[in-house]
Amino acid sequence: MSLPDWIVLIGFLAFVVIYGVWKTRGKNNIQDYLLASRATPWYMVTLSIMATQASAITFLSTPGQAYSDGMRFVQFYLGLPIAMIILSVTAVPIFHRLRVFTAYEYLEQRFDLKNRILGSVLFLIQRGLAAGFTILAPALILSVILGWDIRFTVCIIGGLVIVYTTTGGSDAVNKTHLLQMIIITAGMFAAFWVILRLLPPDVSFLDATHIAGKMGKLNAITFDFDWKDRYNFWSGLLGGTFLALSYFGTDQSQVQRYLSGKSIAQSRMGLLANGVVKIPMQFSILFAGAMIFVVYQFVTPPLFFNPVETQNVKNSAFAADYNNLEYKFTLLHEQKQGTIRDMLAALHNQDQGGLQTSVEQLQALSGEEKTIIKSAGELIIKANPKADGNDTNYIFLSFVIRFLPTGLVGLVLAAILSASMSSTAAELNALASTTVVDIYKRMIKKSGSDHHYLLVSRLATIFWGLYAVAFAWFANRLGTLIEAVNILGSLFYGAILGIFLIAFYFKRIGGVETFWAAIIAEILVIACFLFTDIPYLWYNVIGCLALLFIAHLVKMCRSLLLAR
C-alpha cells in the first residue's frame, strides 16, 4: 500500500476517534452514557442503526456473494421493513414509556426476574462472541490480502473502539456512526465509479448489465419455494421478518440505538427510515459485486482469490495439478470473452437466435469454469487441510487492491475498518449496558451512586472490549467462525423473540409459563441443530413458534389443574 493510502487511512481513523472523544466530553451521568441523554434525532437513529448492522464483513463479503452466487441474497432483507413497522407499533412505545435502559429490564416488569436474567444472559453469550467475530473477520481478510499482521490489526480495531466507546458511551457511538457512514458511503461510491471505468470502451453500462443478467448474476427475486434454498422470496419474507424482529426488537445492540431517540416519534421514524433505505443499500452493494463479475469477464481473474492459500498450494506437492488448472482456466476464459462479444453483437442486432445460442454456450462454459474452480478449492484444502475452500470474502478486497488508484485504496480500507468499528462500538456499548443494568445493578449493588454506575459501565465496556480482542486474537479460522457465530445467533434469537412476543401480545400468559416454554423451545432448537439438516435460518421461526405454542399449552394445563 502506498504512502498516500496510509495517510488517508490513518487520517480518517484518527479523525473518527478524536471526534468521538471530543464531541462527548463532559458526559457525567449514566443516562448520558448509556442512552445518549435520550436526545438523538431520528436521522441519527437511522444512521446509527444502519452502521451497527453493517459490519465490515457486509462490505467485504456481499460483493463477493453477488460475484459467485448472484444478487439473490437481497431477498434476505425483504422481511426487514415489515419488522420495522411491527416494532414501531409495539416495542418502541412500550420501551419508551417504561423508560427502560435495556430491553431485558422490561421482561422483569412484565414477568419476573428469572425471565429478565434469562434474556440478558442469552444476549451476553451470543453478542459477546459476535463482538469478537466483528473484529476478527475484517482483520483476517486484511491480513491475507495486505500482509498485515492479524494480531496487530485486531489490536488496532479493538483499541480504537475501546478508547472512544469507553470515553463517550452511547453518544460517542451515535456521533461516530454518522462519520463512519459518510466514509462507508464515500468508499463504496468510489469503488463503484472505478468498477464502471474499468469496463472496456466498447462495452456500455447497459451492455454490462445485460452480461451480468444473462450470466445469472442479477437474480434478485425468485418466487420458487424450496425449503432448503436459503434465499428466495418466501424465506426472505418469513424467515427475514422473524430474524429482523429478533435482531431489532430483542438485541440490545439495536434496541439501545433507538432507545436513545428523543421521543417515541423520533425512535419510530429512525426505524421506519431504516426499513426504507436498507434494501436499496444492499441492492447497490450486490450490484457492485455483479459489475465486478462483468469486469472480470474481460480481465482474467485469479483462479482462487485468497493469495496466501494460492501460494501454499503452489509450494506444495499439488503445484503441477494447480498450474494445470490455472492454464485450463485461462484458456476457458479467453473462449468466454469471445462468446460474450458474440452475445453483445447479437443483442445489438436484435438477433434472437444468435443471442440464444451465445447464452447457451456461455452457460456451458460457465459450468466448466465452476468445475475448475471447485477442483482448485479441493487442491487448496488438500495442500492445507485447515484452509477455507471458499474465497468469496476475498473477491472485493483483492479487486480494490488490484484496480483502485492510489488514495482510493486508503479510502475503501478506511470504509471497511469504519464498518468494523461502528458495529463493534455498538456491541460493546450494549454489552456494558446489559452487564451493568441487568446484572450488576439488579443483582450485586442495588443502591450505588450515579457516579459509581458510570464508572462500572466504563469498566464493563473495557472488559467486553478486551474480551472481544482476546477472542479475535486466539481464534484463527474464518469459515468455521462465520458458521459458528451465525448458528449461535439463530440458536438463541427464536426463543428470545418468543419471550418478547408473549410479553407484548399475550397478557394472560405469565412468567412461569414463559420461562419453562423458553427452556423447552431452546432444547427443541438445539435438537434441530444436532439431529436434523434444517438450515439454521429457520431456527428463528421454529424457536419462536415452539415457545408460543408451549407457553399456551402450559398455561392451559395449569388452568385445568387449578380448576380441579
Partner 1 sequence: MIDQQEKKSSNDIEKPPLLSSWPKLYLVVFLNLVLLVVLFYIFTKYFS
The three-class DSSP label of residue 287 is helix
CA–CA separation, 422 vs 173, rounded Å?
A: 7
Nearest approach, Cβ of residue 18 and partner 1 (Å): 31
C-alpha grid cell for residue 413?
480500507
Say whether 40 sits in a helix, a strand or coil: strand
Place of cell 479493538: 158
The Cα 242–Cα 458 span in angstroms is 33
Task: Please give the C-alpha separations between residue 75 and each of 220, 233, 299, 388, 521, in angstroms, as whole numbers.
Answer: 7, 6, 30, 26, 27
Nearer to partner 1, 79 or 132 (CB): 79
Q: Is 423:468 a contact under the CB 8 Å cutoff?
A: no
Output 27 or 268, the one with its CB closest to partner 1.
268
Provide the minimum distance between the beta carbon of 246 and partner 1 in the complex, in angstroms, as a whole number. Answer: 19
CB of 42 to partner 1, least distance (A): 6
Nearer to partner 1, 280 or 338 (CB): 280
Amino acid at the residue 70:
G
Please say which residue, 94 or 512, places its beta carbon nearer to partner 1: 94
Give CA–CA dist 145/478, Å, rounded: 14
Q: How far is the CB of 223 from partner 1 (least distance, A)?
A: 8
Which residues fall within 8 angstroms of residue 132, CB to CB, at 6 or more apart? 467, 468, 469, 470, 471, 472, 475
CB of 85 or CB of 308, closer to partner 1: 85
Taking the C-alpha atoms of residue 59 and residue 553, their distance in angstroms, rounded to an integer, is 44
- Closer residue to partner 1 (CB): 24 or 266: 266
* Minimum distance, C-beta of residue 108 to partner 1, in the bound complex (Å): 10
Q: How far is the CB of 211 from partner 1 (least distance, A)?
A: 9
Least spacing, CB of residue 272 vs partner 1, in Å: 5
CA distance 442 to 101: 12
> Between residues 81 and 377, which has the closer beta carbon with respect to partner 1?
81
At CB < 8 A and 24+ separation, what contacts does 527-536 make? Answer: 529/487, 529/491, 535/228, 535/230, 536/486, 536/487, 536/490, 536/491
Closer CB to partner 1, residue 166 or residue 266? 266
Q: Which residues, other chains included, contact 416 with Cβ-Cβ below 8 Å and sequence gap of 6+? A: 56, 59, 60, 138, 142, 187, 397
Spatial separation of the C-alpha atoms in residues 323 and 106, rounded to whole Å: 61
Q: Widest CA span of the chain, in angstroms? A: 84
User: Where do contacts with partner 1 occur on this chain (CB under 8 A)?
Assistant: 42, 74, 78, 81-82, 84-85, 88-89, 93-94, 97-98, 109-110, 209-210, 212-214, 216, 218-223, 233, 263-266, 268-269, 272, 275-276, 279-280, 283, 507
Measured from the CB of residue 210, what is the shortest distance to partner 1 in angstroms? 6
Rounded distance between C-alpha atoms, residue 40 and residue 48, angstroms: 10
Smallest gap from residue 259 Cβ to partner 1 (A): 15
Give me the least distance between CB of 264 and partner 1, in Å please.
5
- Of 95 and 396, which has the nearer Cβ to partner 1? 95
Which one, 116 or 214, has the nearer CB to partner 1?
214
Q: Residue 183, Cβ neighbours under 10 Å: how many?
A: 22
Contact present, 104 and 428 (Cβ < 8 Å): no
